Amino acid sequence: MTRPFRPLAARRLAAAALAALAMTLTSCSDNGSGFDRESQIGANPVLPKPAAYLVTPINLAKPAPFAKGETPSVAAGLKIEAIASDLAHPRRPYVLPNGDILVVESGSPGTEPPLRPKDFAMGLAFKYVKSGNKPGNRITILRDTDGDGSPDARGVLLDNLNSPFGVALVGGDLYVANTDAVMRYPYTAGQAKITAPGVKLTDLPAGINHHWTKDMVASPDGSKLYVGVGSNSNILENGAGSTERERAAILEVDRATGAYRVFAGGLRNPNGLTFYPGSNTLWAVINERDEIGPNLVPDYLTSVKDGAFYGWPYSYYGAHIDPRVPPQYQRPDLVAKAIAPDYALSSHVAPLGLAFDTAGALGAQYRGGAFIGEHGSWNRGQLNGYRVVFVPFANGRPSGKAITVVNGFIGKDGKARGRPVGLAFDAAGALLIADDGSDTLWRVTAGQ
Amino acid sequence: MNATVPAARIPARSVLFIMLATFPVVCFAGALLTDLAYKASPVMQWSNFSAWLLAFGMAFAVIAAIFGAIARFRTRAMRRTLADTLLAVIVVAVLVLALINNLVHTRDTWQSVVPTGLTLSLLTVIAMGIAVILYLVGARAPVAEKPVQQTTIREDAA
């Protein structure tokens, strides 16, 4: 009864199975380099079909921060210098009316528990790209005492904050948006340290804070604060319902009472909240969803309309349905009213900072346009972002192609010399760039 | 001449293999159930359960397969039955299916399970069912026409 073993047959089967597996894996590893990224910049981006991966494309730029004396590169007619270094993970600059510069030094509160085997793997991967100083959870103040444009005095204005990001001065009140609450501190011009305990204006949606940055801007009349609250997940993988309540939204907080309402929704991770100068139009840059393809979904710059819905999680760019939302959760009513944003910035660039140039001190061509800090991609083979781009504006609307104005954050070796985050214009009309990759505050001025 | 002496079969189907193989059997069957629970609910915790069951099942399946392979290579070719060979093929198939299924379950939300993950979970369970049947068939199969061989081995050992 014994049948002789035929090792070849079994080995061939196993080899065929492994070959099929290898093909399945590699056929999915499109790194996005064959795609024209320019086609995703502007009002009507090309949107490829959603992809589903066995292994989502990951390319993390290992940190190798700028050495002393090294700088990013700038477009012709501009120059750049470091005006503060060795900061503790600077995320957002903010310029006070007297010219003092605040730098919010912050990082994730780390309150998102890993729930799946994947979360542990991703946690390890992202540890690999952590760089520089431990996030300070504080606000540093820089002052130019000799009037040469470069600050020469430095101190800690506020310490022991809880993953702060947004900051706004209205009259004598300095507001700080921590990851869990908006705090108010009394502030007089020239004050270099705040010792008064803050008063909580309102709690903010918190919990696990997957997207933890709460950017903030005051309305032009000072009566309201607008606070960006990112989603608690990429695409509902931390649960729907209460986990995502009042998230992926911009909240409008009444400055007098602290009461808030959802001003606009469906904005996966809104940052760079800024009113267009001289208008009541709120603009923001939004990080769109990941793991649906190297060229999906383009991050964007948009004006934010009162009561508008921008799609997340159900759809993107209007009615493009995300197939990962369970049918039980789908909301055709919301998809029907989802509006497409104004201006796509290309996929996975991670815009976190936005500032409009009102002074025109960098050159007439920049006057009135938007500068955007792109922190850089992880979810595509070919890196994208890691730069500051400029979008020209006319009549308060984007009017042309984005151009790169500050570059060189990725070295020739493919490592990250720095990563731009928040932006601001200082009293002299120079562009300030917070760089949390090299713990530096950069200042861009006109010149050679 | 009694051919069904279980003791004689043990080297061909390692005790370690069968002990460890119970983990993937339980875990992968569990993952099918939690996948179904996710499809019905769709509460992410079920998908999380599936991902962990698949991960642990996979880890033990790999170790079990290694011991199975060692046992197989230590068995004389003449003593291997067709059922043994098919069992080896099915074990490889389960490993491949489970690996792909683990990767599919790293996707977010609905696509972590429906439809590919759930389909793979079902195929994995079917493949494991066949493996169990083959194992039992193999265990009942008559062993050798040459009991002398066994004697020889014993003599060697002594």
Tens digit of each residue's pLDDT (9 = 90 or more) over A387-437: 999 999 999 999 999 999 999 999 999 999 999 999 999 999 999 999 999
> Does residue A7 have a pLDDT over 90?
no
- Provide mean pLDDT across the span A268-288: 98
Per-10-residue mean pLDDT of chain B, 158 residues long, equals 44 75 97 98 97 98 93 76 88 97 97 97 97 82 50 44
Residues A251 and A261: their CA atoms lie apart, in Å, by 6
Please tell me the predicted confidence (pLDDT) of residue B73: 83
> Does residue A293 have a pLDDT over 60?
yes
Please tell me the predicted confidence (pLDDT) of residue B140: 67
Identity of the residue in B80, B108, B145 whose CB atom sits nearest the CB atom of A5: B80
Q: Mind telling me how many Å the CA of B129 is from chain A's nearest CA? A: 19
> Does residue A256 have a pLDDT over 50?
yes
Please tell me the predicted confidence (pLDDT) of residue A128: 83
Q: Mind telling me how many Å the CA of B145 is from chain A's nearest CA? A: 8
Residues A302 and A37: their CA atoms lie apart, in Å, by 19
Please tell me the predicted confidence (pLDDT) of residue B146: 46
Give the residue from B11, B134, B147 showing the smallest Cα distance to B68: B11
% of chain A exceeding 90 in pLDDT: 89
DSSP code of A65?
P
Residues of A in contact with B107 (CB under 8 A): 52-53, 56, 291, 324
Question: Closest-CA residue in chain A for B109?
Answer: A237
Residues A187 and A62: their CA atoms lie apart, in Å, by 40
Q: What are phi and psi of A80, to 5 degrees?
A: -135, 140
CA distances from B91 to A99, A146, A278 (A): 70, 76, 70
Please answer yes or no on whether B142 and A1 come within 8 Å at the CB atom. Answer: yes
Please tell me the predicted confidence (pLDDT) of residue A216: 98
Please tell me the predicted confidence (pLDDT) of residue A28: 46
Residues A201 and A182: their CA atoms lie apart, in Å, by 5
Identity of the residue in A9, A55, A323 whose CB atom sits nearest the CB atom of B111: A323
Identity of the residue in A4, A52, A329 whose CB atom sits nearest the CB atom of B111: A52
Residues of A in contact with B116 (CB under 8 A): 52
Which tens digit of pLDDT belongs to each residue from A350-383? 999 999 999 999 999 999 999 999 999 999 999 9
Please tell me the predicted confidence (pLDDT) of residue A33: 75
> Does residue A13 have a pLDDT over 70?
no
Identity of the residue in A14, A25, A118 whose CB atom sits nearest the CB atom of B106: A118
Q: How confident is the model at residue A130 (pLDDT cuts 50, 70, 90)?
A: confident
Identity of the residue in A10, A13, A326 whose CB atom sits nearest the CB atom of B110: A326
Please answer yes or no on whether B111 and A236 come within 8 Å at the CB atom. Answer: no
Chain A residues with a Cβ under 8 Å from any Cβ in chain B: 1-7, 9-10, 13-14, 17-18, 20-21, 24-25, 52-56, 115-118, 233-239, 291, 323-329
Q: How confident is the model at residue A34 (pLDDT cuts 50, 70, 90)?
A: confident
Q: How confident is the model at residue A12 (pLDDT cuts 50, 70, 90)?
A: low
Please tell me the predicted confidence (pLDDT) of residue A15: 56
> Contact A57/A293 with Cβ under 8 angstroms?
no
Please answer yes or no on whether B78 and A2 come within 8 Å at the CB atom. Answer: yes
Count CB-CB contacts under 10 A for residue B2: 8
Question: Closest-CA residue in chain A for B108?
Answer: A237
Please tell me the predicted confidence (pLDDT) of residue A19: 55
- Name the least confident of A6-15, A193-202, A389-398: A6-15
- Provide mean pLDDT across the span A45-71: 95
Q: Mind telling me how many Å the CA of B74 is from chain A's nearest CA? A: 13
Q: Mind telling me how many Å the CA of A330 is from chain B's nearest CA? A: 11
Please tell me the predicted confidence (pLDDT) of residue B158: 37
Residues of B in contact with A3 (CB under 8 A): 80-82, 85
Residues of A in contact with B81 (CB under 8 A): 1-3
Residues A428 and A447: their CA atoms lie apart, in Å, by 14
Please answer yes or no on whether A5 and B85 come within 8 Å at the CB atom. Answer: yes
- Provide mean pLDDT across the span A106-133: 91
Please tell me the predicted confidence (pLDDT) of residue B136: 84
Please answer yes or no on whether B110 and A52 come within 8 Å at the CB atom. Answer: no
Residues of A in contact with B108 (CB under 8 A): 233-237, 291, 324
Question: Closest-CA residue in chain B for A7?
Answer: B85
> Contact A51/A292 with Cβ under 8 angstroms?
yes
- Provide mean pLDDT across the span A129-149: 92
Residues of A in contact with B46 (CB under 8 A): none
Helix, strand, coil tally for chain B in percent (to 5): 80, 0, 20
Please tell me the predicted confidence (pLDDT) of residue B81: 80
Question: Closest-CA residue in chain B for A289?
Answer: B108
Question: Closest-CA residue in chain B for A313?
Answer: B109
> Contact A89/A73 with Cβ under 8 angstroms?
no
Q: Mind telling me how many Å the CA of A328 is from chain B's nearest CA? A: 7
The angle at the Cα of A346, spanning A274 to A75, to the nearest 5 degrees, equals 75
Please answer yes or no on whether A239 and B44 come within 8 Å at the CB atom. Answer: yes
Q: Count A/B contacts: CB-CB distance under 8 Å.
A: 103
Question: Closest-CA residue in chain B for A325?
Answer: B110
> Contact B107/A291 with Cβ under 8 angstroms?
yes
